C-alpha cells in the first residue's frame, strides 16, 4: 500500500465521530473544522492541499482546485510523533452517519459530494471531478463539481440523516435528487436529466432536474442533505409562525408571551 495503514473506531449513532489510531509516524489528513480531540504525542500541521505534492507551485495549484468545490484552501495533517499508538478523533459537522471507505476495495477511486469528505489516511489524494457533459455542467446544482478521493487507503465521508447503500448492476439506472448523493464508485455513469411536464416543473417542489446514475457500481445516498435542512430551518425562522397542532392558534401566542 502507498497510503498509511490507519485503524479506526466509530462512536455514536446519529451524531457520530471517528477515532483514528496512529502507529508511530503514521498520519491522517482532515478538513479544517472536523477536529475533535487527540492524545499527547500527535502533531498537527496546516498545509496547502492534501500534502501529496512537492514544490510550492504544485501545492498552490492543488489548493486552488479545492476552492472550486467550495472547500478551504488548507487541510490539516495529524502525525504520531511519539512512541506507541496515539489517537485523534474527528466529528461530523451535522447529524448523520460517517461512512468508512477502503479505497483499495472500491477500485482506488470514489466520487463524492463536495462537502462530504471528513478525513483520510495520508497519501489519499483529494481532488475535483468535473462532469464532462454540458447538461451536467449547466444544471447539476450540488452535484456538478464533485470531489474525488484516490488511493489505496481508508477515507471517511459523512452524510446527512441516514445513509443507504445501493449496488447497481450493469445498465441499472437510479434517478435521485442531486443533493441526496453522498458518493459513488468511479465506474458509475452520472448525468443530469430534466424532470419534464409543466405541472412537475411549476408545482413539483423538488426542482426541475435530477441525477441519473447508471451501473455497474456502488452508490451511497443520504436521506437529509444539509441544504434541505438549512432551507427548512430558514423558512421557519423568517416566516410567520405556523400553529401546527395548536387548537388555540393565535391565542396560544398571547399565552406564551409572543
* Residue corresponding to grid cell 476552492: 67
Per residue, the 3-state secondary structure of 46-115, as one string, reads: EEECCCCCCCHHHHHHHHHHHHHCCCCCEEEEEEECCCCCEEEEEECCCCEEEEEEEHHHHCCEEEECCC
Q: Which of 15-19, 140-144, 209-213 has the highest mean pLDDT?
A: 15-19
Report the candidate in 159, 135, 157 with the shortest Cα–Cα distance to residue 211.
135
At 136 the pLDDT is: 46
Answer yes or no: is 93 within a domain.
yes
Average pLDDT rounded to a whole number, residues 44-72: 62
Q: Considering just the CA atoms, what is the radius of gyration of the chain in Å?
A: 21
Other beta carbons less than 10 A from residue 22's beta carbon:
26
At 211 the pLDDT is: 85
Q: Phi/psi at 64 (nearest 5 deg)?
A: -65, -35
Average pLDDT rounded to a whole number, residues 83-97: 93
* Residue corresponding to grid cell 478525513: 119
Answer yes or no: is 69 within a domain.
yes
∠ CA(152), CA(60), CA(126), 5° rounding? 20
Answer yes or no: is 253 within a domain.
no
Confidence of residue 144 (pLDDT cuts 50, 70, 90): low
Contacts of 233 (CB under 8 A, 6+ apart): none
**Alpha helices for 176-216 (secondary structure H):** 198-203
Answer yes or no: is 249 within a domain.
no
Answer yes or no: is 65 within a domain.
yes
At 49 the pLDDT is: 64
Average pLDDT rounded to a whole number, residues 178-185: 91
At 143 the pLDDT is: 42
68 versus 40: which is more confidently predicted? 40
The overall pTM is greater than 0.85: no
Give the end-to-end CA distance of the chain in Å, rounded to a whole number.
62
Answer yes or no: is 248 within a domain.
no
92 versus 241: which is more confidently predicted? 92
For position 192, which CATH number holds? 3.60.160.10
Answer yes or no: is 125 within a domain.
yes
Q: Phi/psi at 61 (nearest 5 deg)?
A: -65, -45
32/174 Cα distance (integer angstroms): 33
61/180 Cα distance (integer angstroms): 30
Grouping H, G, I as helix, E, B as strand and the rest as coil, residue 188 is: coil
Average pLDDT rounded to a whole number, residues 224-251: 63
Average pLDDT over the chain, rounded to an integer: 79
Contacts by 252-257 with C-beta closer than 8 Å and gap 24+?
none
pLDDT over 90 at 228, yes or no: no
pLDDT over 90 at 213, yes or no: yes
pLDDT over 90 at 163, yes or no: yes
Structural contact between residues 20 and 90, judged by C-beta atoms closer than 8 angstroms? yes
At 256 the pLDDT is: 46
At 53 the pLDDT is: 54
pLDDT over 60 at 203, yes or no: no
At 197 the pLDDT is: 53
**Least confident segment among 33-42, 44-53, 86-95, 223-232:** 44-53
Answer yes or no: is 242 within a domain.
no
Cell of residue 163, nine digits: 445513509
Structural domain range at position 80 = 7-230
203 versus 89: which is more confidently predicted? 89
179 versus 169: which is more confidently predicted? 169
Other beta carbons less than 10 A from residue 20's beta carbon:
26
Average pLDDT rounded to a whole number, residues 7-36: 93
- Residue 15 DSSP one-character state: B
**Least confident segment among 61-70, 117-126, 171-180, 215-224:** 61-70
Domain count, the chain: 1
Amino acid at each position: 500500500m502507498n497510503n498509511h495503514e490507519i485503524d479506526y473506531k466509530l462512536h455514536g449513532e446519529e451524531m457520530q465521530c471517528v477515532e483514528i489510531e496512529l502507529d508511530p509516524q503514521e498520519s491522517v489528513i482532515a478538513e479544517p473544522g472536523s477536529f475533535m480531540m487527540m492524545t499527547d504525542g500527535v502533531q498537527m500541521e496546516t498545509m496547502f492541499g492534501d500534502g501529496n505534492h512537492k514544490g510550492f507551485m504544485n501545492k498552490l495549484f492543488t489548493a486552488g482546485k479545492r476552492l472550486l468545490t467550495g472547500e478551504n484552501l488548507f487541510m490539516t495533517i495529524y502525525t504520531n510523533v511519539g512512541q506507541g499508538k496515539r489517537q485523534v478523533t474527528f466529528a461530523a459537522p451535522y447529524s448523520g452517519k460517517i461512512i468508512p471507505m477502503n479505497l483499495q476495495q472500491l477500485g482506488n477511486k470514489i466520487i463524492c459530494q463536495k462537502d462530504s469528505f471528513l478525513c483520510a489516511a495520508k497519501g489519499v489524494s483529494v481532488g475535483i471531478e468535473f462532469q464532462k457533459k454540458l447538461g451536467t455542467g449547466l444544471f447539476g446544482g450540488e452535484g456538478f463539481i464533485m470531489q474525488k478521493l484516490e488511493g489505496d487507503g481508508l477515507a471517511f465521508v459523512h452524510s446527512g440523516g441516514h445513509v443507504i447503500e445501493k449496488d447497481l448492476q450493469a445498465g441499472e439506472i437510479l434517478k435521485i435528487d442531486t443533493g441526496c448523493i453522498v458518493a459513488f464508485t468511479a465506474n458509475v455513469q452520472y448525468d443530469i436529466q430534466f424532470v419534464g411536464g409543466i405541472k412537475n416543473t411549476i408545482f413539483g417542489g423538488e426542482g426541475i432536474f435530477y441525477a441519473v446514475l447508471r451501473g455497474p457500481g456502488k452508490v451511497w445516498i443520504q436521506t437529509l442533505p444539509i441544504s434541505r435542512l438549512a432551507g427548512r430551518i430558514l423558512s421557519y425562522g423568517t416566516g410567520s409562525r405556523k400553529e401546527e397542532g395548536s387548537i388555540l392558534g393565535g391565542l396560544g401566542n398571547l399565552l406564551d408571551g409572543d
